Structure 1
């Protein structure tokens, strides 16, 4: 079994789900006594959050490269970033660290394409919804047409992530907000919805959407187990 290196803490609420999902999948595949061989470098999210909103991506890149190098030094074989937003720094991490990086968008897009969908709605932080690092990868590598919410809806989705979900707050009011945003994306032609923030799976349920949901946290965790158990 390969050793997985997880860059976590962004937020720890979703990183905890990664730990659970990866270990559950290893146990399912190998048997009850088995668990994953992994390392996690969990950052303090408060300064990361501030740098994100300040737009200081150079400083954020230094944090992520430092985390990757620590995991490499600890014996990791494969890297995962346990958040969608920080995949904006994929190129910097790959340039600085030789370990293979399992990009969160790839298993997600692969699952969407395998299910036969081509036009997807994307929910996530404002950075993920508005910048091209994520939408461009979905479109350029997988041929997906990506719809994002309108500006007011994007702000609501972003605020709920940063004001509630990263703090473990799950409210019915916010669940309804997301359900309404999803409905508007579906009305614009979305055939499926990508939950493109690793905390959204804590809030949104299948019954909150008229179309299939693709949870990046679960799909990334499954792909991590694939990588860990591959020849």
Structure 2
């Protein structure tokens, strides 16, 4: 089994889900008392948040590269960035380390491709919805991503992800507004929905909507398991 290096704390809430999913998945395949060999570097999210608010991605890059190098030095054979937003700098991080990053957008695109969908709604932080790093990976697989047209909807999702879901706070009003945004994107032609933030599954799941739902935390976790167990 390969040792996984998890970059967590972005937020701690979803990092817990990653740890649980990966360990349960390893045990389902190997049985007995077999669980994941992994090392977690968990950030104080306030340090990340301060730089996000300033849009200082160079500072974030330096922090994450330093953490990845520590994991690599400690024996990790692959990196799992436990947040969609952090994949904005994934390619730059990859150029600084010698072990592979399991890319959440690539793995999600592979999963959507299996469903033969061509147009999907992408939900997440403002960075994930407005920047190109996730959409470009989908495009490589012939998949178009659409996001909310209303800037207020984007700002609402961004702020609630950081200030509610990332703290484990779940509000019914927030869920209702998320579902309303999804319904609008459905009318615009979305054939499926990507939970493009690892906190979104805390508030929205497949039973809430009538479109195929792609939980990036679950998809990414399964890919990490496959990597760890591959010979």
- Report the TM-score when normalising by structure 1: 0.98
- Residue 136 (structure 2) pairs with residue 148 (structure 1): no
The 3-state SS of whatever aligns with 2:95 is helix
Matches within 5 A, 1:57-136: 57-136=57-136
Deviation at 1:47, TM superposition (A): 1.5
User: Quick one: distance in 2 between partners of 1:49 and 1:143?
Assistant: 33
CA-based RMSD of the aligned residues comes to: 0.8
| Alignment of structure 1 residues 1-231 onto 2, 5 Å | 1-139=1-139, 141-150=140-149, 151-231=151-231
For structure 1, list consecutive stretches of 5 or more residues without a partner in the other structure.
Answer: none
Distance 1:204 1:49 in 2: 24
4+ long deviations beyond 4 Å: none
User: Residue deviations 1:78-100, cap 9 Å, x none?
Assistant: 11100000111112211110101
SS at match of 1:21: helix
Task: State the alpha-carbon separation in 2 of the partners of residues 110 and 66 from structure 1.
Answer: 29
In structure 2, stretches of 5+ residues that fail to align are none
Secondary structure of the corresponding residue to residue 189 of structure 2: coil
The answer to whether the 8 A contact 1:5-1:80 is kept is yes
| Cα separation, 2, equivalents of 1:106 and 1:20 | 22
SS in 1 for 2:145: strand
How many residue pairs were aligned? Answer: 230
**How big is each residue's C-alpha offset from its partner over 1:7-53, in whole Å with a ceiling of 9 and x where there is no partner?**
00000000000000000101111114110010110011001012012
Q: Please state how far the C-alpha of 1:210 moved relative to its aligned partner.
A: 2.0
Q: Is the 8 A contact 2:104 2:220 kept in 1?
A: yes
Most deviating of 216-225 and 201-210: 201-210
Q: Tell me the SS of whatever aligns to 1:120.
A: strand
Q: Is the 8 A contact 2:109 2:137 kept in 1?
A: no
SS in structure 1 at match of 2:36: coil
- Which whole-Å CA distance do the structure 1 matches of 2:130 and 2:109 have between them? 18
Is the partner of 1:40 in helix, strand or coil? strand
CA distance in 2, matches of 1:131, 1:66: 24
